[in-house]
């Protein structure tokens, strides 16, 4: 059975850290970034300090590791340390890192996307493939003040990459959110429509472009992958 899937990709700092805003001064924007980086350093070190040597060997990679530029939003194993190999406290600390990059609403969306993976496991009777604990945390380099390093939280339909340069600037890319089913029609999560707002905006843009005779492409068959 095929389920409608909604995909939403973010490539801006404002979208990742919270609702889009227009800072009144450059210093305010810079201060926000500084605070975010400080929180990331603290949360990442708290997470790393909770790990065993064997867990650290999976969670920590060098900045030059080729895996740092890997991007996959499909189900399956990845490099890094998955939630299923963490105890409850370690899982909370891993999600605390994620919370340094996402707004409260963003965290709710991320949590619901992970819950949808469990729902898919039940719907498809395939918990091995649809594993809601197969979300991996990876730290690239050493999280420290003034350092260049990165971190990633990644699994099916949820990818968040942060790169910090010289402890001053950061890149929130690629960051990806998707949902399957796009809207749950029955069962225990009936009515869940995690990316409803994004989907509505996308449809409105498409309709507006079509009305103005802009070259919008429609196809009755869904593509096998994202088309840009």
Walk along the chain (228 residues) and give the pLDDT tens digit of each residue.
334 445 544 433 333 344 433 333 334 478 999 999 999 999 999 999 999 999 999 999 999 999 999 989 999 999 999 999 999 999 999 999 999 999 999 999 999 999 999 999 999 999 999 999 999 999 999 999 999 999 999 999 999 999 999 999 999 999 999 999 999 999 999 999 999 999 999 889 988 998 998 877 777 787 787 776
pTM: 0.85
Cβ proximity of 101 and 36 under 8 Å = yes
User: Can you tell me the distance from the alpha carbon of 28 to that of 132, in angstroms, rounded to the nearest whole number?
Assistant: 38
Whole-angstrom distance, CA of residue 105 vs CA of residue 18 = 8
| Residues whose CB is less than 8 angstroms from the CB of residue 12 and which lie 6 or more positions away in sequence, other chains included | 20, 172
Spatial contact of 9 and 202, defined as CB atoms under 8 Å apart: no
Question: Closest Cα partner for 6 from 166, 220, 194, 201?
Answer: 194
């Amino acid at each position: 059975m095929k389920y409608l899937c909604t995909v939403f990709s973010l490539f801006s700092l404002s979208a990742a850290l919270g609702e889009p805003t227009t800072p009144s001064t450059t210093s305010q924007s810079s201060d926000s970034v500084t605070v975010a980086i400080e929180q990331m350093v603290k949360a990442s070190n708290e997470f790393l300090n909770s790990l065993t040597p064997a867990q650290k060997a999976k969670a920590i990679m060098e900045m030059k590791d080729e895996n740092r530029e890997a991007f996959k939003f499909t189900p399956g194993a990845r490099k890094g340390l998955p939630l299923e190999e963490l105890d409850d406290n370690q899982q909370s600390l891993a999600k605390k890192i994620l919370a340094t990059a996402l707004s409260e609403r963003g965290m709710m969306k991320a949590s619901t996307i992970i819950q949808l993976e469990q729902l898919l496991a039940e719907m498809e009777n395939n918990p091995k493939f649809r594993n809601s604990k197969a979300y991996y945390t990876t730290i690239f380099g050493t999280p420290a003040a003034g350092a260049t390093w990165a971190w990633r939280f990644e699994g099916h339909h949820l990818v968040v990459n942060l790169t910090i340069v010289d402890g001053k600037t950061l890149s929130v890319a690629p960051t990806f959110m998707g949902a399957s089913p796009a809207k749950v029609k029955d069962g225990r999560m009936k009515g869940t429509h995690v990316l409803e707002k994004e989907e509505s905006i996308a449809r409105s843009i498409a309709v507006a472009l079509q009305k103005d005779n802009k070259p919008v492409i429609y196809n009755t068959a869904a593509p096998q992958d994202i088309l840009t």
